[in-house]
Amino acid sequence: MSSKTLRLTQPDDWHLHLRDGETLSTTVPHSSRTFARAIVMPNLKPPVTTVEQALAYRQRIISHIPKGRSFEPLMTLYLTDKLDAEEVQRAYDEQCVHAIKFYPAGATTNSESGVAELECVYPAIEKMAELGLPLLIHGEVTGDHIDIFDRERVFIDNVLSPLTQKFPKLKIVLEHITTREAVDFVNSQGDNIAATLTPHHLLLDRNDLLAGGVKPHYYCLPILKRSSHRSALIEAATSGSPKFFLGTDSAPHAIETKETSCGCAGIYSAHAALEFYAEIFEAANALDKLEGFASFFGADFYKIPRNSAKITLSKNPLSVPAEYIFGDSTVIPMRAGETVSWSIEETT
Ligand code: NCD
Ligand code: ZN
Summarised one tens digit per residue, pLDDT across range 45-59 is 999 999 999 999 999
What pLDDT, on the 0 to 100 scale, is given for residue 112?
79
Ligand 2 centroid, distance to 284 Cα (angstroms) = 25
Ligand 2 centroid, distance to 1 Cα (angstroms) = 41
Asked whether the predicted pLDDT for residue 12 surpasses 70, the reply is yes
The SS3 call for residue 297 is helix
Q: For 148-155, what is the mean pLDDT?
A: 97
The C-alpha atoms of residue 81 and residue 100 are separated, in whole angstroms, by 13
Within 8 A by CB and 6+ apart from 8, the residues are 290, 291, 294, 295, 310, 311, 312, 313
Out of 44, 178, 221, mutate this one to test ligand 1's pocket (max ligand atoms within 8 Å of CB): namely 221
Out of 14, 17, 136, mutate this one to test ligand 1's pocket (max ligand atoms within 8 Å of CB): namely 17
The C-alpha atoms of residue 274 and residue 8 are separated, in whole angstroms, by 11
Out of 249, 257, 264, 269, mutate this one to test ligand 1's pocket (max ligand atoms within 8 Å of CB): namely 249
Q: Using the CB atoms, write b or e for 256-283: b if 16+ within 10 Å.
A: eebeeeeebbbbbbbbbbbbbbbbbbbe
Asked whether the predicted pLDDT for residue 32 surpasses 60, the reply is yes
Question: Which of 111-120, 254-263, 339-348 has the weakest average pLDDT?
Answer: 111-120
The C-alpha atoms of residue 281 and residue 66 are separated, in whole angstroms, by 29
- Which residues on adjacent β-strands are paired with residue 136? 101, 173
Peptide bond between residue 11 and the one before it cis (omega within 30 degrees of 0): no
31 and 71 Cβ atoms separated by less than 8 Å: yes
User: What pLDDT digit, counting tens, does each position of 172-189 carry?
Assistant: 999 999 999 999 999 999
On average, the pLDDT of the chain sits at 96
The C-alpha atoms of residue 136 and residue 286 are separated, in whole angstroms, by 27
Q: If you ran DSSP here, which 8-state letter would residue 24 be given?
A: H
What pLDDT, on the 0 to 100 scale, is given for residue 111?
77
Confidence of residue 117 (pLDDT cuts 50, 70, 90): confident
271 and 332 Cβ atoms separated by less than 8 Å: no
Q: Give yes or no: 249 in active site.
A: yes
The C-alpha atoms of residue 228 and residue 234 are separated, in whole angstroms, by 10
What pLDDT, on the 0 to 100 scale, is given for residue 347?
83
- Which residues on adjacent β-strands are paired with residue 53? none
Q: For 273-289, what is the mean pLDDT?
A: 98
**Which of 147, 249, 288, 328 is an active site residue?**
249
129 and 167 Cβ atoms separated by less than 8 Å: yes
Of all protein residues, the one whose alpha carbon is nearest to atom 6 of ligand 1 is 266
Of all protein residues, the one whose alpha carbon is nearest to atom 11 of ligand 1 is 249
75 and 40 Cβ atoms separated by less than 8 Å: yes
The C-alpha atoms of residue 343 and residue 276 are separated, in whole angstroms, by 9
User: What pLDDT digit, counting tens, does each position of 225-237 carry?
Assistant: 999 999 999 999 9
Ligand 1 centroid, distance to 57 Cα (angstroms) = 18
Asked whether the predicted pLDDT for residue 1 surpasses 60, the reply is no
Write down the pTM of the prediction: 0.97
What pLDDT, on the 0 to 100 scale, is given for residue 311?
98
Of all protein residues, the one whose alpha carbon is nearest to atom 5 of ligand 1 is 266
Asked whether the predicted pLDDT for residue 309 surpasses 90, the reply is yes
Q: For 16-31, what is the mean pLDDT?
A: 98
Question: Can you tell me which atom of ligand 1 is nearest the CA of 108?
Answer: 12
User: What pLDDT digit, counting tens, does each position of 56-92 carry?
Assistant: 999 999 999 999 999 999 999 999 999 999 999 999 9
Residue 301 host element (H or E): helix 297-302
Q: For 17-34, what is the mean pLDDT?
A: 98
What pLDDT, on the 0 to 100 scale, is given for residue 2?
62
* Percent of the chain whose pLDDT exceeds 90: 92
Ligand 1 centroid, distance to 68 Cα (angstroms) = 30
Ligand 2 centroid, distance to 108 Cα (angstroms) = 9
Binding pocket residue ranges, ligand 1, CB within 6 Å: 17, 43, 108-110, 138, 220-221, 249, 251, 265-266
The residue that leads in pLDDT, 1 or 152, is: 152
229 and 152 Cβ atoms separated by less than 8 Å: no
Please compute Rg for the chain using Cα positions. Answer: 19
Question: Can you tell me which atom of ligand 1 is nearest the CA of 253?
Answer: 3
